Amino acid sequence: MSNQGQIGKLIVIVAPSGTGKSTMIKRLKIDFPSIVESVSYTTRPMRPGEVDTKSYFFITKEEFTVMRANNEFLEWAEVHGNFYGTSKNFVEKCLNEGMHLLFDLDVQGTDSMKDYFGKKASVIFISPPSVEELEKRLRHRGTENTQVINIRLTNARQELLRKNDFDFLIYNDDIENAYQKLCEITQEILGR
């Protein structure tokens, strides 16, 4: 896959689970219709309200293993005990059409994207105000059981150690302030 001569911008959003990135991305896609979100493949169970092929392509572990063996992922990672991968085909098609692409990735996937695309990928880390607040948000969302929430909180503590390693950092304390900051940063990236 070639990343030469690319016109569209690549924006990666990375944040511990429960920070609020899906909430913000949903709004961003409405306010910036020229941005297309990369739909990943995952082996995790579908949550209520999610739509197969829109939220993710929901596949089995066996299907994931085959796709990985066929080199169909630009990057993949095991996150909180499930597999997630970015489709090479999807990204290639969008880049060839000059689209701006948005990725919602974990830290491992973000590092892989930076290795591959370098400065062409702009990374925005969104941090929760605290791990305690993150736990409240995960419990309030109610989509995962206590065991899964605990795994996500343990991973969050590790991911937060990386918050200063990327291009932009936003604290999602007040959602309106954080979203406004995200819009400003997005505008800046698209205008480059």
> What residues line the site for ligand 5GP (CB under 6 A)?
17, 40, 44, 75, 77, 79, 84-86, 104-106, 108-109
- Judged by beta carbon distances under 5 to 8 A according to partner kind, the member of ligand ADP, ligand 5GP, none in contact with residue 105 is ligand 5GP
For residues 6 and 119, is the Cβ–Cβ distance under 8 A? no
d(CA 167, CA 62): 36
Shorter beta-carbon distance to ligand ADP: residue 15 or 95: 15
d(CA 15, CA 107): 8
Shorter beta-carbon distance to ligand 5GP: residue 1 or 4: 1
Beta bridge partners of 86: 75
CB of 118 to ligand ADP, least distance (A): 26
- Judged by beta carbon distances under 5 to 8 A according to partner kind, the member of ligand ADP, ligand 5GP, none in contact with residue 19 is ligand ADP
Helix, strand, coil tally for the chain in percent (to 5): 45, 25, 35
Beta bridge partners of 78: 83
- Judged by beta carbon distances under 5 to 8 A according to partner kind, the member of ligand 5GP, ligand ADP, none in contact with residue 68 is none
Strands (E), 73-142: 73-79, 82-87, 100-105, 121-127
* Tally of helices (H runs) and strands (E runs) in the chain: 7, 9
Q: Which residues bind ligand ADP (CB under 6 A)?
A: 15, 17-23, 137, 140-141, 172, 174-175
CB of 60 to ligand ADP, least distance (A): 23
- Judged by beta carbon distances under 5 to 8 A according to partner kind, the member of ligand ADP, ligand 5GP, none in contact with residue 108 is ligand 5GP
Angle ∠(106,180,128) on CA atoms, nearest 5: 40
- Judged by beta carbon distances under 5 to 8 A according to partner kind, the member of ligand 5GP, ligand ADP, none in contact with residue 85 is ligand 5GP
- Ranked by CB distance to ligand 5GP, the top (closest) residue is 109
